[in-house]
């Protein structure tokens, strides 16, 4: 069984499409049946062609057996959806319908209503009425209404409606996919980092997820008792020797390991990678080897590895396992990335998971380490920043664990990119490997040795940095910064990079500034960032993150997304339309966590 087949054998949630209709018989309903059902079919075709599951297959849609004109048909549709595994609810109609009789009442399903903008039997009237009912019942729903009036016989889906349908469905599927999965904490709190204090209530009430825990001694047990696939280990080690080039050792000679010890470290980090993956999702091969319990895994869609310092003071660090698992390829070929947070920072693991489910691409984990203003760069290097970097840069760099996709060696339309695994060619995967060196870990930080990935991200990629923070008295809040990766002249990069640990991967990031608030300048972005880590996704996905956060009732405290791109449930406008950031906080507090 392939990696992707085993990981996703439980299947994925479907999108349920509910065609609602005016229930009056003897002429009214009959005249609308075809148009209403055809709306549902058009939406199903749109979403299945535009969206894919994490395994690369097209998203599946389920349409109610009949148009819904009243309570009985609404109940029949709900029953069908429950049996079919529907995780997202989308209602469509061209006409007036009976609001509270036809609405979807499942409190945990993300829901939206598309009301056709036509004048014959305007769906906008039903849209307004049913959204009012949803707000009154405490079931926030998204309203979708096209800007242009359509003729009654028009079967097309306008472009502005398409954007909202796809944006809603993409975020709704993310909510549904994570529901019932686990965050696996491998170890405990790393170096007093608050984000690695895994909050059970946060995962349970806001994400609908379990939290699972294993002590890092489980890695020792599985290594010593050989609870891993030995055939895969031999295959992996040979692949590593061929594809993972070892970089120079920056440690003082007295602290450098012998060649034999370095080779032993390579063996250990490969086994650690196998074990971390098996802990997350299980491995049927282990059952064949007599380890039935271990073969089950923890149903983890995201995990974190503590590493420092309980592990890394004695054993090789986790940089290799985190980088390999977070990448879209390994010794078994090109496959979907796993999501693993460095230092068990679960509050950074969550936006990594969000970004992954919204894009199906690997995510970069990084320290938000240094703000380099234009004056400072010019003072240190003599170089004057220009273009996207003119206002300054953020140096995103962490202890050698990110994703090799982050090199930017994949391409789209001739430009650097990070892509879903099904779009990545073998040549592109090899380029990512060739652009990455593996440096013997700094003995100053990692007494147990190991290897840190080292690469430089190509400039010119649109990127979104995000972070979840947890505030006592408020709960979780999300921060979002869209921007671009930036190229610096090699000598400038070297001068700046060598002021910190040069054995770690670097992304030079220029957030887009707006001249106001937390985005007045690049310095203000750094000064307002809530913690030491950030998750970086390819593309400008801030609007999708905002939509997803609203579904989960997580307010967004800081973002640079244009107001016209913000898409939240219609009820958010009832908490204020001037100053929508504050309205977001009030709405989330009022409705509370999705699963509470």
Which of 60, 367, 482, 584 is labelled catalytic? 367
Q: Does 232 belong to an annotated binding site?
A: no
Rounded Cα distance between 592 and 596, Å, is 7
For residue 313, which phi and psi values (nearest 5 degrees)? -70, -15
Check if the beta carbon of residue 428 is closer than 8 Å to that of residue 406. no
Buried residues in 142-161 as b, exposed as e (16+ CB within 10 A)? bbbbbeeebeeeeeebeeeb
For residue 117, which phi and psi values (nearest 5 degrees)? -85, 90
3-state class of 231 per DSSP? helix
Sign of CA dihedral 73, 79, 84, 87: positive
516-524 CB contacts, 8 Å cutoff, 24+ apart? 517/558, 518/558, 519/481, 519/558, 519/560, 521/391, 521/392, 522/371, 522/373, 522/391, 522/392, 522/393, 522/394, 523/371, 523/373, 523/392
Helix (H) or strand (E) holding 348: helix 346-359
State yes or no: is 367 an active-site residue.
yes
H-assigned helices in 182-229: 200-202, 217-224
Buried residues in 55-73 as b, exposed as e (16+ CB within 10 A)? beeebbbbbbeebbbeeeb
Three-class DSSP labels, 56-102: CCECCEEECCCCECCHHHHHHHHHHHHHHCEEEEEEEECCCCCHHHH
Q: Is 262 exposed, middle or buried (0-12, 13-18, 19+ CB in 10 A)?
A: middle
Q: Does 533 belong to an annotated binding site?
A: yes
Which of 205, 229, 278, 343 is labelled catalytic? 343
State yes or no: is 413 an active-site residue.
no
3-state class of 480 per DSSP? strand
Q: Does 383 belong to an annotated binding site?
A: no
Q: What is the gyration radius of the CA atoms in the chain, in angstroms?
A: 25
Rounded Cα distance between 509 and 525, Å, is 11
Q: Residue positions in the annotated binding site for Mn(2+)? A: 343, 367, 533
Q: Which residues are known to be catalytic?
A: 343, 367
């Amino acid at each position: 069984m392939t990696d992707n087949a085993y990981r996703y054998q439980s299947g994925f949630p479907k999108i349920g499409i509910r065609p609602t209709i005016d229930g009056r018989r003897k002429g009214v309903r009959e005249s609308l049946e075809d148009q209403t059902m055809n709306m549902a079919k058009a939406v199903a075709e749109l979403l299945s062609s535009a969206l894919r599951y994490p395994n690369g297959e097209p998203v599946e849609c389920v349409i109610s057996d009949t148009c819904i004109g009243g309570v009985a048909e609404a109940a029949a549709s709900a029953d069908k959806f429950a049996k079919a595994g529907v995780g997202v609810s989308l209602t469509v109609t061209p006409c007036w319908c009976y609001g509270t009789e036809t609405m979807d009442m499942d409190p945990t399903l993300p829901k939206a209503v598309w009301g056709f903008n036509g004048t014959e039997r305007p769906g906008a009237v039903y849209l307004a009425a049913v959204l009012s009912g949803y707000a009154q019942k405490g079931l926030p729903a998204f309203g979708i209404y096209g800007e242009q009036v359509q003729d009654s016989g028009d079967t097309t889906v306008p472009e502005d409606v398409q954007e909202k349908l796809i944006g809603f469905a993409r975020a709704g599927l993310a909510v549904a996919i994570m529901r019932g999965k686990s965050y696996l904490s491998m170890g405990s709190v790393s170096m007093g980092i608050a984000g690695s204090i895994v909050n059970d209530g946060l995962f349970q009430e806001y994400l609908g997820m379990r939290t699972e825990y294993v002590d890092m001694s489980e890695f020792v047990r599985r290594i010593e008792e050989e609870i891993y696939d030995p055939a895969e280990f031999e295959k992996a080690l040979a692949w590593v020797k061929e594809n993972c080039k070892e970089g120079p050792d920056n440690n003082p000679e007295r602290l450098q390991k012998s060649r034999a010890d370095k080779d032993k470290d390579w063996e250990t980090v490969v086994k650690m990678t196998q074990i971390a993956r098996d802990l997350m999702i299980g491995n049927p091969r282990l059952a064949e080897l007599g380890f039935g319990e271990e073969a089950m895994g923890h149903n983890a869609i995201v995990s974190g590895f503590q590493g420092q310092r309980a592990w890394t003071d004695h054993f090789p660090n986790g940089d290799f396992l985190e980088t390999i698992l977070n990448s879209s390829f390994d010794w078994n070929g090109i496959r979907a990335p796993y999501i693993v947070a460095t230092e068990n920072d679960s509050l950074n693991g969550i936006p990594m998971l969000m970004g992954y489910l919204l894009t199906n691409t690997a995510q970069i984990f990084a320290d938000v380490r240094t703000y380099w203003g234009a004056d400072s760069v010019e003072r240190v290097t003599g170089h004057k920043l220009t273009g996207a970097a003119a206002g300054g840069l953020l140096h995103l760099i962490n202890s050698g664990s990110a994703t090799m996709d982050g090199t930017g060696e994949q391409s789209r339309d001739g430009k650097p990119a990070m892509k879903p695994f099904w779009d990545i060619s073998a040549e592109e995967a090899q380029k990512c490997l060739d652009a990455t060196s593996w440096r013997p870990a700094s003995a100053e930080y990692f007494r147990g040795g190991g290897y840190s990935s080292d690469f430089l991200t190509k400039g010119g990629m649109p990127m979104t940095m995000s972070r979840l923070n947890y505030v006592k008295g408020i709960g979780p809040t999300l921060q979002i910064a869209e921007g671009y990766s930036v190229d610096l002249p090699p000598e400038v990069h070297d001068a700046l990079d060598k002021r910190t640990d040069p054995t770690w991967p670097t992304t030079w990031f220029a957030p887009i500034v707006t001249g106001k608030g937390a985005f007045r300048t690049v310095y203000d972005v750094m000064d307002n960032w809530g913690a030491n880590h950030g998750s970086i996704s390819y593309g400008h996905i801030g609007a999708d993150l905002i939509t997803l956060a609203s579904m989960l009732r997580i307010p967004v405290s800081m973002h640079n997304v244009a107001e016209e791109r913000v898409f939240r449930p219609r009820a958010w406008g009832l908490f204020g339309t001037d100053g929508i950031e504050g309205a977001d906080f009030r709405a989330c507090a009022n409705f509370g966590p999705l699963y509470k």
